[in-house]
């Protein structure tokens, strides 16, 4: 397993994409640090960019990588190694690469200009979202035989979770504004990993007061130890379920 991961990582870290992505993230972080000295403003701006960009890049890159690496996968499947290990090594290599890019690209500027707890949370959220969307991308990839279709599915998932879902939630909140919605919104938030990541960040930023009564309720829920635990559990479900499903399909796939 470790051997497979070593070769998969070796291949992926040598690709030009890893470097370009890291430099891009670093440039974003540096330019935002230049604009403002207030750390909470920095982390808010970084969060707004990250929450859009990281899932998108993760989804598209993981799908392309899966298809570009089919040769390697086929080669390995004719060797005395377990299918599940071939799958996991590919997946972990992508997640590790994306996480490293965030860690270096955002982390270095933080080392230079300082960071607070919200910025550390930002790094963690970025890595979790990378992993979740890599899982989605692998699921899309093993479900189809066509690269274009798989990228389409990955993009559709990104659009849904990043754009469409929020519109849907807003619509519900407006339509049922006369009812107490705190718990319902809480439930709705759980159904979207991107929102969960965003809330995890916002709760660190002390701006929940801006969100009115629901915000206060959220603050109360998520700041408690149980709330945090619930969030992490739900996020790990978002991580494990797509990966588990795609692993099962991969085991039965013909090459």
Residues in touch with other proteins (CB under 8 A): 3, 7, 11, 14-15, 69-72, 74-83, 252, 254-255
How many whole angstroms separate alpha carbon 153 and alpha carbon 139?
A: 9
How many whole angstroms separate alpha carbon 241 and alpha carbon 156?
A: 18
For residue 10, what are the CA distances in angstroms to 4, 79, 102? 10, 19, 18
Residue closer to other proteins (CB basis): 126 or 247: 247
For residue 226, what are the CA distances in angstroms to 34, 222, 230, 251, 253? 37, 7, 6, 36, 40
Taking the CB of residue 185, how many other CB atoms lie within 10 A of it?
A: 17
E runs forming strands in the chain: none
The nearest distance, CB 24 to other proteins, in angstroms, is 21
How many whole angstroms separate alpha carbon 153 and alpha carbon 138?
A: 10
The nearest distance, CB 91 to other proteins, in angstroms, is 17
The nearest distance, CB 154 to other proteins, in angstroms, is 23
Residue closer to other proteins (CB basis): 41 or 82: 82
Q: Which residue has the tokens 């130890």?
A: 225
The nearest distance, CB 134 to other proteins, in angstroms, is 20
How many whole angstroms separate alpha carbon 205 and alpha carbon 207?
A: 5
Residue closer to other proteins (CB basis): 52 or 92: 92
User: Pseudo-torsion of CA 228, 230, 232, 236, nearest 10°?
Assistant: 180
Residue closer to other proteins (CB basis): 65 or 219: 65
The nearest distance, CB 245 to other proteins, in angstroms, is 18
The nearest distance, CB 25 to other proteins, in angstroms, is 23
How many whole angstroms separate alpha carbon 111 and alpha carbon 101?
A: 15
Taking the CB of residue 23, how many other CB atoms lie within 10 A of it?
A: 13
How many whole angstroms separate alpha carbon 238 and alpha carbon 124?
A: 15
The nearest distance, CB 16 to other proteins, in angstroms, is 10
Residue closer to other proteins (CB basis): 63 or 118: 63
Residue closer to other proteins (CB basis): 4 or 42: 4
Structure tokens at 221: 């829920």
Residue closer to other proteins (CB basis): 79 or 177: 79
């Amino acid at each position: 397993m470790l051997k497979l991961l070593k070769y998969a990582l070796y291949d992926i870290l040598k690709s030009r994409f890893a470097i370009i992505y890291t430099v891009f993230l670093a440039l974003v972080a540096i330019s935002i640090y230049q604009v403002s000295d207030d750390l909470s403003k920095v982390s808010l701006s970084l969060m707004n960019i990250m929450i859009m960009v990281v899932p998108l890049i993760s989804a598209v890159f993981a799908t392309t990588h899966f298809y570009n690496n089919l040769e390697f996968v086929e080669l390995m499947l004719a060797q005395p190694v377990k299918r599940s290990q071939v799958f996991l090594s590919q997946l972990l290599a992508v997640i590790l690469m994306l996480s490293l890019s965030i860690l270096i690209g955002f982390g270095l500027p933080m080392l230079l200009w300082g960071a607070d707890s919200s910025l550390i949370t930002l790094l963690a959220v970025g890595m979790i979202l990378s992993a979740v969307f890599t899982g989605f991308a692998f699921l899309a990839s093993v479900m189809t035989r066509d690269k274009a279709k798989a990228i389409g599915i990955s993009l559709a998932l990104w659009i849904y979770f990043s754009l469409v879902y929020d519109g849907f939630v807003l619509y519900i909140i407006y339509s049922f504004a006369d009812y107490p919605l705190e718990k319902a919104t809480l439930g709705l938030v759980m159904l979207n990993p991107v929102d969960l990541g965003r809330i995890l960040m916002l709760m660190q930023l002390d701006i929940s007061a801006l969100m009115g009564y629901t915000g206060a309720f959220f603050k109360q829920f998520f700041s408690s130890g149980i709330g945090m635990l619930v969030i992490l559990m739900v996020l790990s479900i978002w991580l494990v379920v797509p990966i588990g499903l795609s692993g099962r399909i991969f085991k039965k796939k013909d090459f």
